[in-house]
Amino acid sequence: MRDIFHEELDGISQSLLQMATLVRSAMTDATKALLTPDLALAEKVIEEDSIIDSIQHDLDARTINLIARQQPVASDLRTLVASLRMSADLERMGDLAHHIAKQARMRYPNVAVPSELIPIINEMDKVASRLIDKLSAVMEHRDTVRALEIESDDDEMDRLHRKLIGTLLDDNWAHGIEAAIDMTLLGRYYERCADHAVSIARRVYFSVTGEFAPIAE
């Protein structure tokens, strides 16, 4: 029975990793659709968000069923409870990619991002991708050291977000209110994606150690 339990536990971990892989692809594709612009790619991201949602629903059902049947304790219970919250974070990250793709679709055939802000959006996408890649390794190897690093890595996203908002508030902004609203929303989507990565990393740390991760200064 314990072997079956751990096989099911491993299956849940693999589903979380699958979600992370899909989220990374969705964020990358959504950014490409936004900046190219590419309507077909935007539609693909929007449609495939339902795949991430379905995996989450299935994963949560399996997790709850496993808790009910096996009544795990200690680290196994922490892992299962954490997986419910991690799947919710990953699903939300997928939604954020979905929102970026919808922004690309809404402004097509125009590029939704003013030319001077394209480098910032590109950098935000790169930071998000690096965070998700590191997060996948943290989840797979239950690496508490790298889990703590993710919160510091998020500082770069925060810096880019502040730079973006500063540009929008500058007296030289010449693209009007509508574009400013678009960029405020887009900046928030990338920034929140990074925040969810931090949240997942902290949950991995707790599930392994039984202690809450120290808050970075």
Distances, alpha carbon 197 to alpha carbons 22, 40, 132, 154, in Å: 14, 28, 7, 8
Domain extent listing, the chain: 2-209
Structure tokens given for 74: 């200690």
pTM listed for this prediction: 0.95
Superfamily name with CATH number, domain 2-209: Phosphate transport system protein phou homolog 2; domain 2 (1.20.58.220)
**Overall average pLDDT of the 64-86 stretch:** 93
pLDDT tens per residue across span 123-174? 999 999 999 999 999 999 999 999 999 999 999 999 999 999 999 999 999 9
The position carrying tokens 């200690």 is: 74
